[in-house]
Amino acid sequence: MTVETVAERNARKVREGVVVSNKMDKTAVIAVIERVRHPKYAKFVLRTKKLYAHDETNDVNIGDRVRVMEIRPLSKQKRWRVIEVLERAK
């Protein structure tokens, strides 16, 4: 095989966030907070984005800090997968 025939996979996006819902089967809703600089006022603004992540074992709970990785679309909204739990909810 030559170098041209072996296509390397692009780096996948990885985000960290907090679980805000786990009521669905094998799905968790993750809130990812990012600090964005306002273009005009140059002040930092918090932006929250909700991601739907696949959780095969249903082991995450509300309040857990998790790391998610981008994957192929699994459903209409689900494009992320929980890869590890960083911190359990207290």
User: Rounded to 10 degrees, what is the CA torsion of 44, 50, 56, 60?
Assistant: 60
The whole-model pTM stands at: 0.83
Lookup: tokens for 9: 């996979």
CA 21 to CA 60: how far, in whole Å?
9
Lookup: tokens for 24: 């669905």
Q: Name the fold adopted by 16-87.
A: OB fold (Dihydrolipoamide Acetyltransferase, E2P) (2.40.50)
The pLDDT of residue 8 is 75
Q: How many CB atoms lie within 10 A of CB 18?
A: 18
* Cβ pair 63, 19 in contact under 8 A: yes
pLDDT along the chain (90 residues), means of 10: 64 96 97 97 97 96 97 97 95
The pLDDT of residue 3 is 55
Domain positions in the chain are 16-87
